[in-house]
Amino acid sequence: MVITVRGTQLSLDWGMNHQPIAKSFVALDVAYELVSALAPTVRQIARHDASLGKQLTRALASVPMNLAESGGRTGADRVHFYRIAYGSLREVSAALEAATRFGWLDSAPAADVRDRLSGMLWRLARR
């Protein structure tokens, strides 16, 4: 079943107590979009510094992984995973800025997606 809430389409599934569960999480979708947008840049950075490339890969993968894991949690435990995702996103931005300052990039890419996701995660982490 698909419904529209505030202009966003959500796919619903039925939970164990027969209540609808939203299967779409906009922040998670944006996090996946960021991974796709930065994949070529991660490879470029890894050619210059394999260690930084690996660290950037781990931090970038951590964002959607923690958002996905938050879906199985409740209360403060869920917020904890939002905070981890937010911290990982900040680490991604720091790695991109470092690579830019080393001269490996002209500018840190996907700033618009990073800013959008940062706002979402900041809001979620402050609940």
pTM for this predicted structure = 0.81
Task: State how many domains the chain has.
Answer: 1
Residue 92: closest CA among 27, 31, 25: 31
Residue 62: closest CA among 98, 38, 97: 38
How big is the chain, counted in residues? 127
| pLDDT tens profile 55-101 | 999 999 999 999 999 988 899 999 999 999 999 999 999 999 999 99
- Class of residue 69 by CB neighbours under 10 A (exposed 0-12, middle 13-18, buried 19+): middle
| pLDDT tens profile 15-59 | 555 554 555 799 999 999 999 999 999 999 999 999 999 999 999
Q: Which domain holds residue 37?
A: 25-125
In a domain, 12, yes or no: no
* C-alpha span between 112 and 127 (Å, rounded): 24
In a domain, 91, yes or no: yes
* C-alpha span between 73 and 4 (Å, rounded): 24
Cα(first)–Cα(last) distance of the chain, in Å? 29
The CATH code of the domain that includes 86 is 1.20.1440.60
